Structure 1
């Protein structure tokens, strides 16, 4: 039996379901895997029920999508078992684009379409299940974005759309111009980062039945190897909860903290270590209580709830 048989896929729209744990490809170029080793990892993920893979055009200085695509090309039939996400909109300073003089955002029709088409080419696929706008931008024309989305949807190149790092107002503003409504917002959520609880983004997403994806669920190491007083408080609380649950894997407690929330938070696990992915998968079975949840939340706040 798969470890994930006890969990259901999460529905983002009528015809899009994703795995509750998403495998992130941000550091793929650092894992040092051959094409065959990466393919083996992907198959192991799928066997665990982790079928959704998160990319962005810029990951690995514009290299990670091609690495993933080279592995997928070895087993094309795997494509129909997985969901592919990519993001666009950030233009980095890079030797690959010597004409650029400053990091900036580009949400023109031309750039969105060309970026999506390049992702398809790099990933060796004919469609993206989900395309996200990577960051909100001060120079942003929602009608231009809508035009690009319509073209990509009508051509069958992108099936669904979402955003990343958007506030409720930014999300609502763009959604008001779209024929196909946004299906997710990929935001930073962890026991260390409570920003989207505090700015009402979580409440907004629940109200609109939008399931958020959580990037950096381990806070980039600041929880497990803290340097700040806040990080040390959070780690102590997690250690105490782990002791209560007779659990020696602290990251399992963190993933459980996210998965238990009624917003249906989807953690993005950015590791090439299959054992760490198994830990995340198994986190849903941890009997985390409401008091455990608030113990961690209050430690992050630095005070008890009002």
Structure 2
């Protein structure tokens, strides 16, 4: 699996394993979670994506159970997590309304809670999960610089930010933002056309793609797009998912798809996408089908 330089101090695997469903599995035992991690590591997938809110603020602790049971795993992994969403669940059950909190106090408390739940001393990459309309960029930027200076976090990024959100936060930070995790797939191609991808490509930022299979819809829907993907998949001896991910991997911006599943058999097949090399016309066949029309 290709390794990708995210910053001077951080490299990640080109495909990331997303843990947003890990607490929803029927089996959340340390042994079963370790089996998922090991299956990823066997393929060279070393980067694992978390967020404090996943599983109603329980997913990080599920991962932590496996890391405590087998401490040797931590040294083989890069751990990504996120903060700033406050929903009425788990440790935030008393919240009156779902909201975002990018205050210094919340960021510091969230980082400490994530470290404690996962049983680790260092988060490799922390993302601000959603743009906050009440963002005080000076306060938030200083807090993010603070957790890096304290050694609790290695690198900082964002998720679901538009270019102007990125530039506002970066303007108040000493630490460079290194990635934006956005929804992008054959089922959500807006970033290819709205300037988001071009902004990050121009500045050399690496993009992480959440829901690269369109929430699973790309796997099952009988559509012209599905027909094109199935034809290419049959020619390459892979499934439709591998083609959908290969579509993202082919882009020169160097997109990092975040793949999430609890099925061990599917986890074992994640890296197949990296073996599929689409030519330009195949890429445009998929793009045209996703657009629903011929390119102008």
Superposition TM-score, scaled by structure 2 size:
0.96
* Helix, strand or coil at the partner of 1:129: strand
Quickly say closer, same or farther: Cα 1:94–1:250, change in 2 above 3 A.
Answer: same
Question: Structure 1 residue 112 and structure 2 residue 107: aligned?
Answer: yes
Structure 1 range deviating more: 9-18 or 92-101: 92-101
Match of 2:230 in 1: 239
Unaligned runs of 5+ in 1: none
Task: Choose the corresponding residue for 2:141, options 132, 137, 146.
Answer: 146
Q: Distance in 2 between matches of 1:246 and 1:260?
A: 15
Measure how far apart 1:272 and its partner are: 2.1
Match of 1:32 in 2: 26
* Helix, strand or coil at the partner of 2:192: helix
Aligned runs of 1:84-99 on 2, under 5 Å? 84-94=79-89, 96-99=91-94
Unaligned runs of 5+ in 2: none
Measure how far apart 1:95 and its partner are: 5.5
Question: Structure 1 residue 253 and structure 2 residue 248: aligned?
Answer: no
> Contact 1:120–1:126 at 8 Å: present in 2 too?
yes
Match of 1:196 in 2: 191
Q: Distance in 2 between matches of 1:223 and 1:137?
A: 30
Aligned runs of 1:1-306 on 2, under 5 Å? 4=1, 8-33=2-27, 34-94=29-89, 96-226=91-221, 232-243=223-234, 245-306=235-296
Q: Distance in 1 between matches of 2:16 and 2:96?
A: 34
* Helix, strand or coil at the partner of 2:122: coil
**Runs of 4+ deviating beyond 4 Å:** none
Deviations 1:126-174 (A, max 9, x none): 0100000000121111111112112211110011000000011111111
Superposition TM-score, scaled by structure 1 size:
0.93
Structure 1 range deviating more: 216-225 or 82-91: 216-225
* Helix, strand or coil at the partner of 1:303: coil
Q: Distance in 2 between matches of 1:274 and 1:208?
A: 37
> Contact 1:223–1:232 at 8 Å: present in 2 too?
no
* Helix, strand or coil at the partner of 2:176: coil
Q: Distance in 2 between matches of 1:113 and 1:90?
A: 14
* Helix, strand or coil at the partner of 1:187: strand
> Contact 1:192–1:234 at 8 Å: present in 2 too?
no
* Helix, strand or coil at the partner of 1:85: strand
